[in-house]
Amino acid sequence: MALKKTHAAALCAVLLASGCSFAEDVLFPTSGTVAPAQGEGVAGEVPPAMGTGSYEPIGVTAGSPTGTFVGGKVMALRADLQALQATLARQNQSLQQIRNETVQDSQRYHGTVAAINARLQVGTTPGNPVLTQQWNAAQGELDRITDDVLKMNRLTNDVTASSTMAGFLLDSVRSARSLSGAVDEDHRQLRILEDETNRTVVMVERLLSELTSDSIRQQQYVASEKQNLNTLALGIKNGALFAGGLTSRVNASYESTGPARTLASGEAPLVTIRFDKPNVNYEPALYAAIKSALDRRPSATFDVVAVSPVGNTPGTQALAATNAKRNADSVLRSLTNMNLPASRVRTSSTTSPAVAGGEVQVFVR
């Protein structure tokens, strides 16, 4: 969604109901208007590289029935892991297909744009119909790249569901070890199943992380190229190439090389999103807070910090950190969908004994 004017008071109830808290006192007193998100340079620049990982399931070790209640539980959990890995295999196949389609669509797009740039470089007649036809073709090719990004987003949602299922399955396998009525063979099979489930959890999280990064980079790239096509349209209208322009200068002013903020700074977060229930509706409150910050300081940048509680064991702490990072990735995707450039957002993670459950904190820089 585009950043647009919203009545802040109308969102106060949503802000509380969705598990978000808003720190008004950290916003800035300076005035100004929000600078629009712009693309960089001239259309036809090289698209961002996508990940190259392939996430093939590791397989599930077969086991023999023991005749006990726990043995039956092991068989059911093993079947669940096999189903999860089959889903993961399909998702990996979809990822590779989307990547191939995106590469092909990008090559066609850049070939068309390069032809337009070459003609404009040496000069041509204003409103050249051949260049206009090529521009329309480039617009259609960029729309296909947009469709590829939408496929990435849908796949990201599917993999997020798989990640949740993997975490639940790992907890179930660990819980089965405490059931009474088991024989030694049941516990041996449970140990093998736990190891394989744990490796599957790691694989799903890596897939989700790489897919999220690909999706965000491609979204920003498409937004940039849409602006650059507008620059090309102006060049075709005038019969001369308009290189660079204001777009690169605007984005250069937003570039940040400072480190991500940490909780040790003692500053109150702009927004705290507590993921203490399923389907937290945080986006309205997040939108209102970000827009207010940008209204006061158009050049503001933001830190998204995944905060997880300190666990009793290394395993529970690692699982909590993974869930917090996944929630932070969701917040990052929301900010991108609000047309906030990725170059203006930093992500990090930390633990805190003061946090009962996973939460995401957003700071202003």
β-bridge partners, 361? 272, 305
* Cα→Cα distances 176→21, 172, 185, 207, Å: 38, 6, 13, 27
Same domain, 283 and 320: yes
Same domain, 241 and 263: no
Residue 51 is predicted with a pLDDT of 75
Same domain, 65 and 93: yes
Pick out the chain residues at pLDDT < 50.
Answer: 1-18, 21-44, 243-262, 264
Tell me the three state secondary structure of residue 349: strand
Domain boundary among 225, 253, 281: 253
Number of domains in the chain: 2
Same domain, 104 and 229: yes
Same domain, 248 and 297: no
Same domain, 307 and 295: yes
Residue 51 located in a structural domain: no
- DSSP 8-class letter at 304: E
Nearest by Cα to 200 from 172, 236, 176, 226? 172
Residue 104 located in a structural domain: yes
Residue 76 is predicted with a pLDDT of 93
Edge-to-edge strand ranges of the sheet holding 302-309: 20-22, 271-274, 359-364, 302-309, 345-352
Tell me the three state secondary structure of residue 359: strand
Q: What domain range is 269 assigned to?
A: 1-35+256-365
Same domain, 267 and 218: no
Residue 45 is predicted with a pLDDT of 54
Same domain, 117 and 221: yes
Task: Express each pLDDT in 274-295 by its tens digit.
Answer: 988 888 888 888 888 888 898 8
| Contacts of 76-84 spanning 24+ positions with Cβ under 8 A | 77/169, 77/172, 77/173, 77/176, 77/193, 78/189, 78/193, 80/169, 80/172, 81/169, 81/193, 81/196, 81/197, 81/200, 84/162, 84/165, 84/166, 84/169, 84/200
Residue 360 is predicted with a pLDDT of 93
Structure tokens that stand for 295 in this block: 């209204």
Same domain, 152 and 215: yes
Instruction: Tell me phi and psi for residue 30, to 5 degrees.
Output: -70, 150
Same domain, 249 and 263: no
Residue 220 is predicted with a pLDDT of 84
Instruction: Tell me phi and psi for residue 268, to 5 degrees.
Output: -75, 140
β-bridge partners, 352? 309
3-state secondary structure 216-260: HHHHHHHHHHHHHHHHHHHHHHHCCCCCCCHHHHHHHCCCCCCCC
Residue 46 is predicted with a pLDDT of 64
Residue 333 is predicted with a pLDDT of 83
Residue 47 located in a structural domain: no
Asked whether the beta carbons of 64 and 159 are under 8 A apart, the reply is no
Domain boundary among 195, 224, 253: 253
Residue 40 located in a structural domain: no
CATH of the domain at 358: 3.30.1330
Residue 41 located in a structural domain: no
Residue 53 located in a structural domain: no
Same domain, 17 and 82: no
Terminal alpha carbon distance of the chain? 23
Residue 46 located in a structural domain: no
CB-based burial label for 220 (10 Å; 0-12, 13-18, 19+): buried
Domain boundary among 205, 230, 253: 253
Instruction: Tell me phi and psi for residue 346, to 5 degrees.
Output: -115, 145
β-bridge partners, 305? 348, 361
Same domain, 282 and 241: no
Structure tokens that stand for 270 in this block: 């702009």
Distance CA 360, CA 323 (A): 10
Residue 231 located in a structural domain: yes
